[in-house]
A and B are shown apart, each in its own frame.
Chain A
Amino acid sequence: MRDVKIALRNLTRQKKRTILLAAAIAFGIYIITMINGFTGSFIENVSENFSNMLAGHIFVEGVEKSETGRTLNIVRNDEELMLAIEETNTPWKYITKRSDLGGTLIFAGESMRQSITGANWEIEEYFKQRIILKEGTFEQMQEEKQGIILSEKVAEKLNVEIGDRLLVKCRTYTGQQNVGEFVLTAVLIDASMFGGTTAYANISYVNELLNLQPEEYMTLGIYLEDMDLIDQAAAALYANLQTKVSMFERQSDDDENPIIAMLEQQDEEEWEGLRFQLMTLNDIMKEVQQIVNVLNTAALIILLVLFGIIMVGVTNTFRMVLMERTKEIGTMRAVGMQRGIVRKLFLYEAFFISVIGVVSGLILAGLTMFILMQIYWGVETPAFMLMKNGYMTFILSPLQVLANFAIVSGLTLVAAFFPSNKAAKLQPADALRSTN
């Protein structure tokens, strides 16, 4: 108690210096906490945004090779797929079936290329919850077979209003030219980075334009109850599907992106009829994970450099403290203070500085995060993928915070140890002779 009291009071002797040192530590902790908080939410936000965009966590697609050597995606009959999902007890929450069409929308002399996703709005509950319509409703979409949902920006550019009819120039599934007509039924507030390039229509009409059968589609998307189950569920489903249909190999090579590997494989190989491929959000996220790893490594390097600087600062500060208090150390030793206690006094002091620094750094980081989380950044920024519906989020694990605290105070103590030890080893007579 006595040691703690003296150490605490010693902190107040050179307030400016204490504050500066604590501020340096606070700054280090602040930066690290911000980066940790950001990368913590990064992966989650990016995968959520991807899953919204791609409509699922696990995707199954049929792949055909045309006579011209093009690979085409199609699911002609999904009985086996559905059976496999049932047999493996896949913990799905929503299942989507979509077809994609690339085409040029034309209205009153204005034209624009769009990717048009055909969806069955009866089963797209998840998507409907996520999309905010500025005008029109999903019910109207279901009623209007040729209905189309454009993003706000596209509608503005084409200068179309609800009820206007747009021409679409596209190609069928097999590559023939085709023309159709859409009715603008709803306008959505850009809720994804790709809102500007994707329009939504009814799958029945999209299939017509693609020259596909009404029950056919291109991609089966499965939303799971929990994103953590992706790998497990995908593995089970893949194993089951292998017994029913011909499947493309799933690459498990860590270095290569599994999707790219699969696409390369499809380009090289020749086959007859329909084969299936299974992809997961995690496969797609592998690339993103690499970015996160880079960020974390950068954070670690920053952390080390910063703490190197802080350690030098701590050591120097305590050298100075030692010089200032040499006589006092001599007095305390003369009066009967043991060496170990002298050392302890300095170490306590260093520890308290690190606690002050860490706590204020954390408070500052918390405040900054809170403020940043209140700001709506919009969805048009390229950083959209990193955010949650246009808001920044931060996820910090208490363990990480604790680890940072332990590292900082550990390093501070190590840095303070050498001057403290020197102080403890001073000969009382020499220390007392000091002119300070």
Chain B
Amino acid sequence: MNIIEIENLSFYYQADKPVLKDINLTIKKGEWLTILGHNGSGKSTLAKLLIGLLRAKSGTIRIDNEELNQNTVQSIRRKIGIVFQNPDNQFVGVTVRDDIAFGLENLSIPREEMIERIETYAQKVSMSEFLNKEPHALSGGQKQRVAIAGILAMHTDIIIFDESTSMLDPKGRRMILDYMKTLNDEGVTIITITHDMKEAVLSDRILVLKNGEVLKMDTAANVLKDKITLEKSNLELLLPLKVINRLEEKNIKNEELRSYLWQLSLTG
């Protein structure tokens, strides 16, 4: 079943500068999709269109069989959550606790359950001891974690992570990635926007955007080794794949090493 269907979607901020051009895309329920693309290729814009923060200039978006428009945007926001690229844009509360609560209040969740969810998700992102702090008194990576907790607590069917691990230390990043995996196993549809191929390889499929157009849409394994597509998108091959390429260039045949390196890249 498709949970997201995008048809002929176009968008611009200024009419003479198209930012997304005729995007067609379907995402299956329970799928994990990565969006790759150079800076300015339109990734965040696409994400904002999906949650109805921006309105398409033409084309349609259907979320869970419901067409996204002014009348449906409120009900659709209960199904799709986003962690923004810059967590500062997400903060509204006086304390971290208020902030996580904010999203839940909009969902009219009973108070007791709200308190429970706040504690649970603050713990999941290791921010329990910061619940009474002001969001603005947090370090960059801590802000990212709070933003993540706020969205997780909403239990939406779809979550978009827009470069949400970019300011996390390696351990924090692994923790969030592991958790994305758990959510995905539980059936949550995940869309991650990233430049990190080690993150992309964890997903099912990869969409590559270039200058607002779909450059490629394929399984993670196929995109991973597609040097030309990656280069066109300012991305680079994972290191083991660079080695495979070098061996091929030099006509060195070592099947054992080759398959070993390939396995290594698939595990990130």
On whether the two chains bind one another, the answer is no
Question: A residues engaging B (CB < 8 A)?
Answer: none
Question: B residues engaging A (CB < 8 A)?
Answer: none
